[in-house]
Amino acid sequence: MSATPITWFEIGTDRPKEAERFYGELFGWTFNEEGGPAGSYRTTGAGGDTGIGGAIRETDGSAPNYTIFYAEVTDVAETCRRAEAAGGQVLVPPRTTPTGLTLARLTDPTGNHLGVFAPPPTRA
């Protein structure tokens, strides 16, 4: 069993309302808008207690729509280094959000996209 779980997914689309309706009707998922002026980001606890959560991110239509999974890691920068050593590529270098979450976007050697993230540090 792997120590690197897949714990998040993201669906990027220029039609987020349509995607929300589709996944709601298909799977019964509900979404909460958490985006701001820069765009919609609708999160869901779709996985319940046994699956993974995710979100629909609004895109501007200038790039293709996408679906990506995120693996939870302890060190995003080290994971990026190891991905490059294994023949992958870093598309979006590690960055830390205002909440403390650190993430990066990668490709595997065959061109498939994936994300890695480390949750914000817990406060004592």
Question: What are the pLDDT digits (tens) for 26-37?
Answer: 778 889 988 877
User: DSSP label at 110?
Assistant: T
Element (H, E) at 84: helix 76-85
Which residue ranges in the chain fall short of pLDDT 70? 1-2, 124
User: DSSP label at 21?
Assistant: H
Phi, psi of 123 (to 5 degrees): -100, 135
Domains and CATH numbers, the chain: 6-118 (3.10.180.10)
Question: pTM, whole model, 2 decimals?
Answer: 0.73
Task: Give pLDDT, residue 105.
Answer: 95
Task: Give pLDDT, residue 124.
Answer: 62
Q: Token match 């995120």: residue?
A: 70
